[in-house]
Structure 1
Amino acid sequence: MSTLPECHGIIPARYESSRFPGKPLVELLGKPMFWHVWKRAGQCAALKSVTLATDDERIFKAAENLGVPVVMTSPAHASGTDRVLEAARKLGIDTEAVVVNVQGDEPCLEPGMIDDLLKPFGTCRAMVTTLVSTIGPEEADDPNRVKAVVASDGRALYFSRAKVPFDRDGGLHSYYLHIGLYAFRMQALMRFGELDPSPLEKRERLEQLRFLENGIDIRVTETAHACHGVDRPEDLNNILTILERE
Structure 2
Amino acid sequence: MKIIAMIPARYEASRFPGKLMKDLAGKSVILRTYEATKQSNLFDEVYVVTDSDIIYKEIVSNGGKAIKSIEEHESGSDRIAEAVKDLDIDIIVNVQGDEPFTKKTPLKNLLDVFKNDLEKDVDIASLKIKMDDLEEINNPNNVKVVTDEHNFAMYFSRSPIPYPRDEKYAEYFKHIGIYAFRKEALLKFTKLPMTKLEAAEKLENLRFLAHGLKVKMVETKEIAIGIDTPEDLEKANAVFKIK
**How high is the TM-score relative to the length of structure 2?**
0.90
AA matched with 1:134: K
Paired residue total: 239
1:65 equivalent among 61, 64, 76: 61
2: CA distance between counterparts of 1:69 and 1:174?
40
AA matched with 1:225: E
Aligned to 1:175: 172
Superposed displacement of residue 137, structure 1? 6.8
Conserved? CA contact 1:53–1:70, under 8 Å: yes
When the two chains are superposed, the root-mean-square deviation of aligned CA atoms in Å is 1.9
2: CA distance between counterparts of 1:137 and 1:23?
25
1: CA distance between counterparts of 2:61 and 2:140?
40
Conserved? CA contact 2:126–2:178, under 8 Å: yes
Superposed displacement of residue 77, structure 1? 0.9
2: CA distance between counterparts of 1:41 and 1:121?
19
Q: Deviations over 1:166-213 (max 9, x none)?
A: 333343632122111111111000001000102322233221111111
Structure 1 residues 75 and 217 mapped into 2: Cα distance closer, same or farther (>3 Å)? same
Conserved? CA contact 1:136–1:173, under 8 Å: no
AA matched with 1:42: K
Conserved? CA contact 1:137–1:175, under 8 Å: no
Q: How does 1:197-236 map to 2 (within 5 A)?
A: 197-236=194-233
What SS does the corresponding residue of 1:171 show, helix, strand or coil? helix
1: CA distance between counterparts of 2:9 and 2:218?
25
Greater displacement, 49-58 / 12-21: 12-21
Conserved? CA contact 1:74–1:83, under 8 Å: no
Aligned to 1:41: 37
Aligned to 1:134: 130
Conserved? CA contact 2:141–2:228, under 8 Å: no
2: CA distance between counterparts of 1:193 and 1:210?
10
**How high is the TM-score relative to the length of structure 1?**
0.89
2:113 equivalent among 104, 113, 120: 120
Structure 1 residues 151 and 118 mapped into 2: Cα distance closer, same or farther (>3 Å)? same
- Specify every segment of 5 or more residues in structure 2 that has no aligned partner in the other structure, as ranges: none
Conserved? CA contact 2:22–2:28, under 8 Å: yes
Greater displacement, 226-235 / 136-145: 136-145
Query: Alignment identity in percent?
Result: 36
Structure 1 residues 244 and 174 mapped into 2: Cα distance closer, same or farther (>3 Å)? same
Q: Does 1:32 align with 2:28?
A: yes
What SS does the corresponding residue of 1:162 show, helix, strand or coil? coil
Q: Does 1:76 align with 2:72?
A: yes
